[in-house]
């Protein structure tokens, strides 16, 4: 069955990734970049053309639609599937040129627009298991956008298939496409009463078979350092250089532990991802991540202690550390009601695939939705190496993900509330 999805998945995915939808953390607009509407409006038009109902692009930039139930029962749960339209600001997303590498033969894939970018067993060991797959990459100078346009293509293909096959038994389904997930605001404005679902799944995962019901808990931290600015010609004894103090703060923090590049598995980290400023004022932006709340608290305490030590060492400066919550580990809620996860695992098994339960070293829109009361595990989409030029997807794994969603729709159609 999955092979039949391939032509439509490929056509949709190649079409969607060529639309630049990068989000912008510095923007307070909703969505953070107007160009996200380019994809929203295309999806809105395509949903209407395929016969979806209640197609609505909200004033808070979420696109919603309904696939009506084909099972005549009023007590069936409503299931929502979500994907985000934006791509990460971390790497260039303008001018994406997708390339399909047919029936991957195991040889290195050299990306033509920057031959230094090579997919091989070193840069991506997962490729070894994808012999015969159709691999999609960008051309070397942009990200691909599989995160999360693979999820979008999967859900649009699912919708088209269900709407053209009313004989498939399923309950009411909702589709939701969100903005700004990559800057932590994907479902910040989504009204649960508008989504009108009892359970949901995000399509924003990685390798085939993965089902995620555990994510990092996350905080954001900003350390602001105000120095003392003066003319460099008469600076002796007067100048307090905020950038020099920023460098000291970084050195106060662990270098061999607690960073993304030195941790894996269930280890959390403190990640400095942006530094800007002048000798007068500098800002350091961090993300704090841990699977457990006490670990997250420890990361915040360490950063606060470093800021306090910097302040004590240079009282003429002003050092402020502000930490704000982002999202929490969805496990805390899902472990109280595991039916959404159990049905997802069974939907994977129906493909003859052994499901993989893996904690996400990151977060999804589902983390926030679950915390708000809507159980929302995350499903695989066959995407790898996100946020950089070596990003790629397997079309065959996208087809498997489409079938998993179809299996879930049928499974929930057999449930009663």
Active site amino acids: 86, 181
C-alpha–C-alpha distance, residues 320 and 311, integer Å: 9
Strand intervals (E) in 162-242 = 173-178, 199-203, 210-212, 217-226
What is the distance between the alpha carbons of residues 155 and 406, in angstroms, rounded to a whole number? 10
Gap between the Cα atoms of 399 and 11, Å rounded: 13
Q: Which residues of 316-348 are buried (b: 16+ CB within 10 A; e: fewer)?
A: ebebebebeebbbbbbebbeeeeebbebbbebb
Pick from 357, 148, 356, 361: nearest CA to 265? 361
Give the C-alpha distances (Å, rounded to integers) separating 173 from 81, 84, 94, 186.
8, 17, 33, 20
The C-alpha atoms of residue 188 and residue 123 are separated, in whole angstroms, by: 35
Strand 173-178 to 79-84 pairing: parallel
Show Cβ contacts of residue 325 under 8 Å, excluding neighbours closer than 6 positions.
218, 219
Alpha-carbon distances of 155 from 43, 176, 195, rounded to whole Å:
11, 9, 16
Cβ count within 10 A of residue 209: 22
Is residue 86 a contact partner of residue 22, using CB atoms and an 8 Å limit? yes
């Amino acid at each position: 069955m999955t092979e039949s999805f391939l032509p439509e998945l490929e056509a949709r995915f190649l079409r969607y990734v060529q639309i630049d939808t990068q989000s912008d953390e510095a923007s307070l607009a909703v969505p953070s970049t107007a160009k996200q509407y380019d994809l929203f409006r295309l999806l809105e038009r395509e949903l209407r053309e395929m016969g979806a109902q209640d197609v609505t692009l909200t004033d808070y930039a979420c696109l919603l639609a309904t696939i009506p139930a084909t099972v005549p029962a009023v007590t069936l749960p409503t299931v929502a599937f979500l994907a985000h339209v934006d791509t990460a600001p971390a790497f260039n997303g303008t001018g994406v040129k997708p390339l399909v590498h047919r029936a991957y033969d195991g040889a290195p894939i050299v990306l033509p627009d920057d031959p230094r970018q090579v997919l091989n067993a070193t840069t991506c060991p997962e490729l070894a298991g994808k012999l015969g797959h159709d691999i999609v990459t960008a051309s070397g100078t942009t990200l691909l956008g599989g995160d999360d346009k693979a999820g979008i293509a999967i859900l649009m293909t699912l919708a088209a298939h269900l709407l053209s096959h009313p004989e498939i038994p399923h309950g009411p389904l909702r589709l939701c496409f969100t903005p700004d997930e990559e800057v932590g605001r994907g479902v910040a404005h989504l009204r649960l009463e508008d989504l009108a679902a009892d359970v949901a799944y995000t399509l924003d995962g990685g390798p085939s078979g993965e089902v995620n019901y555990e994510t990092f808990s996350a905080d954001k931290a900003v350390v602001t350092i105000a120095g003392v600015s003066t003319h460099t010609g008469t600076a002796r004894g007067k100048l307090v250089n905020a950038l020099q103090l920023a460098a000291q703060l970084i050195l106060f923090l662990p270098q061999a532990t607690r960073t993304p590049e030195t941790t894996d598995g269930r280890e959390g980290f403190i990640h400095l991802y942006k530094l800007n400023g002048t000798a007068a004022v500098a800002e350091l932006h961090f993300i704090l991540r841990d699977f457990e709340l006490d670990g997250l608290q420890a990361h915040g305490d360490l950063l606060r202690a470093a800021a306090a030590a910097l302040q004590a060492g240079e009282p003429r400066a002003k050092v402020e550390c502000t930490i704000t919550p982002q999202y929490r580990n969805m496990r805390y809620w899902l472990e109280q009601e595991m039916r959404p996860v159990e049905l997802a695992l069974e939907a994977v098994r129906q493909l003859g695939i052994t499901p993989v339960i893996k904690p996400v070293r990151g977060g999804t829109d589902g983390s926030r939705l679950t915390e708000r009361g809507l159980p929302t595990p995350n499903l695989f989409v066959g995407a790898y190496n996100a946020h950089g030029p070596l990003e790629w997807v397997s079309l065959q794994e996208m087809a498997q993900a489409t079938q998993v969603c179809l299996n879930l729709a049928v499974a929930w159609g057999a449930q009663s509330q």
